[in-house]
Structure formats: structure tokens, C-alpha cells
Amino acid sequence: MDKELLPHRRRNQLTGEWVLCSPHRATRPWLGQQEEVHKEERPEHDPSCYLCPGNRRANGVDNPSYEGTYVFENDFPALLNEDPSDDASEHHLLRCANVQGTCRVICFSPRHDLTLAKMEPADICRVIQTWKEQTAELGQKYKWVQVFENKGAIMGCSNPHPHGQVWAMDAIPTLPLQEDARQREYFGNHHDRLLLNYVELEIERKERMICQNDDWAVVVPYWATWPFETLLLPRFKISRMTELTTNKAESLAVVMKELLQRYDGLFSCDFPYSMGWHGAPFNGSAGEHWQLHAHFYPPLLRSATVKKFMVGFEMMAEPQRDITPETAADRLREVKL
């Protein structure tokens, strides 16, 4: 068997975890679950949408006639900003901890039909500015601010109006804690930032590069778990979203639009994904070992109707993928814009 097709494991340098790569399985037949593809033409304004301007939300509050981005407190938040009860556990094997936080919704545009991929860079830049403003405000009170977007019903998105969310909490969640530890360890050993060194290595190698400009680069990471997972990386030192300058935000908007257009073009569909930004926590540290970055996790595997399932071995042992990150990068690069 060709050496490139042999199974192997790759280490995720951000988390310390491993992923099993089995490229020889990429041609296996598929007789399993296939998703429905809805190619509906959405109107610019949907009178039944809870997020469109002027409409009434589920809690009875009317949205203003907003013209740009619109942020409001989530009507059904996962976190509450209320005084906690006693933080006692009844047994050392039954631990719990109180948590406080805030959850907000960010409508990207008044247009019901306008995803980030279809927006002009100037409009995407306004979304980025909103991300920055929300992160700055919430970071004054909370240790962790998570900006994210779930796009598509397949990713659990309950409303098709293009929007994202920001959750802030007074504790640092599990995955950011892992990233903090790995980046801190690397900085201590190499006196430089892990992801800053990594992005330049990927630019030099070119195997997993998708697109880039002078300030940003998008790669399918060497340790990618999801078939068409990507990592959006700055090529300059920046620890948090709050440090983003206007020029760097403008160049970010351009590279984001190209990535999302490539996603939509891959299977000729409104490409679903979950994406989120990771930056240094607001825990009193300067965060000099941290490098701001965004993760994009699309669920699709072979087509618009076949998704990747994390089951069996993935749930019981470790993540596994069939197509290599290099093959995924090739396919994304080949998309005609």
C-alpha cells in the first residue's frame, strides 16, 4: 500500500490530543444517513422571523428597525447573571461549581437572506467590529468571552436569519484551558507564539493552505478532526479580539469572505458550520503566549447530503478521519470563485 495511504495518528498541538487518520478508507461505499438539501430562496425580510427588523420575538419583545448589526440579550440563555448558591459538593466524587454569565445574540444584518459568505467585505467588517466591541465590554466582567456562529439546521441552528452569539462566563471552559496550557508551554520552551510559528510553517509548506493575504491565513490544520475543518490565523502578534485595528479587521473581512465562498462552492450549497474565536482569557494575564484564532468546523463529509458522524471509536477512544487534511485543502483550493 502507498505510504501516504497508511493509517497514522496526528497530534493536535493546541490541545495535546491525538486524531487517527485513515486515508485508505476514503473510497469506502456509503449506504448510511443522507441529509436533505433545502435550496430555498429566502426573502430579504421574513415577517415570521424572530430576528428580522421590526418583528416580535418569542418573548413578546419587538426588534427595532435596525440597519446594521443588532445585539440583544438571548431570550433563552444558557448562562444567568444571578447570585450563586453555596458552591458545596456533597461528595468528593460529585463535584460541581457555580457559574455566572451572559448570553447575547448578534444579527449580522437586517437582511434575512444574507449570510456572511454573501456579504460585502465592508459589511463583514462591521460584524467583526461588533465582535470586538462585545468582547471588550464583556471582558471587563468575565474571564472568558466566546464569540461563535452555528450556521445551518444541520448544526442545530434554530433560525435561518444569519446570526451568531456571544457567551461570557466567570470561568475558563475546558477547551480554552487546554489551548492556554499548550501555548504557555510552547512559549516557555521556544520564547515565541505557537500559532505564529505554525502559520508561517504552513505558508512555507503550502500543503494545507487555503487562502492568505499579508495579515491572515486560512489552513486545514495538520491535526484537523472534521473533514473540511479550517483554522483562521493572524500573521502578526495579537492575543485578543480587543487588540484588532481597523486595517487588520478590513483584511480579515476579505480573507473570511474568500474562505466562506470556497465552503459554499465545495458542494454547491449553503455550507453549514460551527465557528468560534479563541483569544487570551480576561484573567489578569497579559496573554503574551496566546495568539488569537478562529476555528471552523463543518460537518459535511462527501457531499451536501453526507455528514461526518462522531460515533463509536470517536466517542470511546479518539477522533478519526478518512480524507487527509492535505486532500481537503486541495479540494477547497480547487473551488472556482
Give catalytic residues, as residue numbers. 163
CB 301 within 8 A of CB 294: no
- Residue 28 annotated in ligand binding: yes
Give the whole-angstrom CA distance, residue 170 versus residue 210. 36
Residue pointed to by grid coordinates 458522524: 309
- Residue 289 annotated in ligand binding: no
Angstrom CA distances, 203 to 227, 228, 246, 272, stand at: 20, 18, 24, 26
Between CA 213 and CA 237, with CA 116 as vertex, the angle to 5 degrees is: 35
- Residue 150 annotated in ligand binding: yes
- Residue 157 annotated in ligand binding: yes
- Residue 161 annotated in ligand binding: yes
CB 223 within 8 A of CB 264: no
Backbone angles phi, psi at 336, to 5 degrees: -85, 125
- Residue 58 annotated in ligand binding: yes
- Residue 111 annotated in ligand binding: no
Beta-strand ranges (E) seen in 77-236 are 101-107, 144-151, 163-169, 209-212, 216-219, 230-234
- Residue 96 annotated in ligand binding: no
- Residue 41 annotated in ligand binding: no
CB 88 within 8 A of CB 158: no
- Residue 74 annotated in ligand binding: yes
| Residues making up the binding site for UDP-alpha-D-glucose | 25-28, 58, 74-75, 150, 156-158, 165, 308-309, 313-314, 320
Provide the annotated binding site.
25-28, 49, 52, 58, 74-75, 112, 150, 156-158, 161, 165, 179, 278, 293, 295, 308-309, 313-314, 320
Task: Pick out the residues of the known binding site for Zn(2+).
Answer: 49, 52, 112, 161
Binding residues for Fe cation: 179, 278, 293, 295
